[in-house]
Amino acid sequence: MPDLQIVQDTDPRCAELEAAGYRVVGESWAARLFDPDRALLESAVTRATASGLTVREVGAESAVALHGLEKINQPDYPYTPATSHVVGEVSDVRALWGENRVFGAFDGSRLVGATVIGHRDGFGDTRFTSVLAAYRRRGVGQAVKAASILAFLDLGVTRFSTGGAAVNDGSIGANQALGYELTERWRSYEL
């Protein structure tokens, strides 16, 4: 079993690990959003709906559709030791509604994008966002995430967190477009 260390990139141990022969096998990031700009979020949703999509919160009756979306996208999820994503079975997806809310984008009746958000440590925390390949780079991920933030703002939540693999530039850009600021970068080292 390899020795694995996950260390923030500003930690002096990075140099020590590298000197000891550890190699970087993955990089990840965390971002925060405080007091979001409601107009910016609403415009992200409006852009998606103007292109013909429907963006709305979905209930557990959409578990099969979300599972299908996730199964199609599973090979596209970047893996790092700190950011692995396992889709699981339909029952695992259905269980997401126990502590989370799910927002989806639909092209007609087809779910083409979704985000799952929960409330953790005073933050609206995004668990994951998933968009079909044909709909990426069209603002769909931003729209579902914006809809989720707007819903939490209506509950008085004004702090949000998210994160992911550093190789996913699209995710970083989509989050920054909504006002998120990168707060931490992490390196996964293996010996």
DSSP per residue, 114-138: EEEEEEETTEEEEEEEEE-GGGTTT
High-pLDDT (> 70) share of the chain, % = 99
pLDDT at 96: 96
H or E, element range at 44:
helix 38-50
Q: How far is the C-alpha of 54 from the C-alpha of 45, rounded, in Å? A: 9
Coil/strand/helix, residue 22: coil
Which pLDDT value is given to residue 190? 95
> How is residue 110 written in tokens?
């087809």
Please check whether residue 103 is in contact with residue 147, taking contact to mean a CB–CB distance below 8 angstroms. yes
Residue 79's pLDDT is 87
Q: C-alpha dihedral over 38, 44, 46, 49, to 10 degrees? A: -140
> What share of the chain in percent tops pLDDT 90?
90
| β-strands 159-165, 123-131 pairing | parallel
Is residue 122 scored above 90 in pLDDT?
no
Across the chain, mean pLDDT equals: 95
For residue 111, report the phi and psi dihedrals to the nearest 5 degrees: -75, 115
Question: Computed over its alpha carbons, how large is the radius of gyration of the chain?
Answer: 17
Q: Which domains does the chain have, with CATH numbers?
A: 4-11+21-190 (3.40.630.30)
pTM as predicted: 0.93
pLDDT above 80: residue 1: no
* Distance in angstroms between the alpha carbons of the first and the last residue of the chain: 10
* Arithmetic mean of pLDDT, 61-66: 98
Q: Are the beta carbons of 88 and 48 closer than 8 angstroms?
A: no
Q: What is the mean pLDDT of residues 170-182?
A: 95
